[in-house]
Amino acid sequence: MGQALSRGRFITFEGGEGAGKTTQIGLLAETLRQHKLDVVTTREPGGSPGAEAIRELLLSGAPDRWDGETEALLMVAARRDHLVATVWPALAAGRIVLCDRFADSTEAYQGFARGLARERLAELHRLAAGDFCPDLTFILDLPAAEGLARATKRGATTRFERMPLDLHERLRQGFLDIARREPQRCVVLDAHREVQAIHAEIVAALRERLKIAC
C-alpha cells in the first residue's frame, strides 16, 4: 500500500451536470497514485452493490418519476449502504477516498432545486451518516445551460439531466450557497477553464488544506 495515513481522507466533488467532476477525479487519482498514495474512487448515488441498484432507480425513467421526498429517501438509503460497504472501511485503512457527489448534492438537488426543507434533509443525513462529513469538497461551478449542453454531448442523458433549466439554475445557486456557508470545507472552482488548470488548483488546495504531499 503506498504512504499510509492514520486515517484516510474523504474528498468530495460537487457541481451541476456537465461540470467535469468525473474528469477531475480521474486526474487527481492518477496524481495521488504517482505519489504512492492509496486511493479509492467512488460515486453517489452508487459506490457499493446495493447503492448501485438504487442508482438505477434514481437515474432512469421520466423526470417526474419520483417526487423530491422519494428522491431524498432513496439517496439517503444508497448513501448508508455506500458508507458502510465502501467509504468507512477505506478510511479506516488509511486510504484517500475521492467521491463524485455526496450530501451536498442531496441538499442542492432535493433542497434548493426541489424545495425540501434543509432541516429535514439534515435529519435524514444524521440517520444515515451521523456527524460524518467530507474533509474537503471541490465545487465545480458552471452556468446551468452550459453544463447541460456538455452533458447532452456525452450521449444518453439521465432523468436529472432532462429536468427543466430553471431547476438546474436553482441547483447551481444551491451549491454556491453551501460554499458560502462552509468556506473552511468547500473550494469553488471555475469550471470554464482548461482541464489542467483546474487540476492544478485542486492539487494546490490538497497540499495547503489537508497537507497531502502530491
The pLDDT confidence band at residue 207, using thresholds 50, 70 and 90, is very high
State the pLDDT at residue 156.
65
* pLDDT tens digits, one per residue of 1-44: 333 445 789 999 999 988 999 999 999 999 999 999 999 999 99
| Segment 80-100 mean pLDDT | 97
* pLDDT tens digits, one per residue of 125-177: 999 999 999 999 999 999 988 888 888 888 767 888 888 888 889 999 999 99
State the pLDDT at residue 12.
98
Domain extent listing, the chain = 10-210
**β pairing state of 136-141 and 186-190:** parallel
| Pairwise CA distance, residues 163 & 154, whole Å | 16
> What architecture is the 10-210 domain classified under in CATH?
3-Layer(aba) Sandwich (3.40)
| Pairwise CA distance, residues 150 & 161, whole Å | 10
- Report yes or no: 144 and 172 within 8 Å, Cβ to Cβ: yes
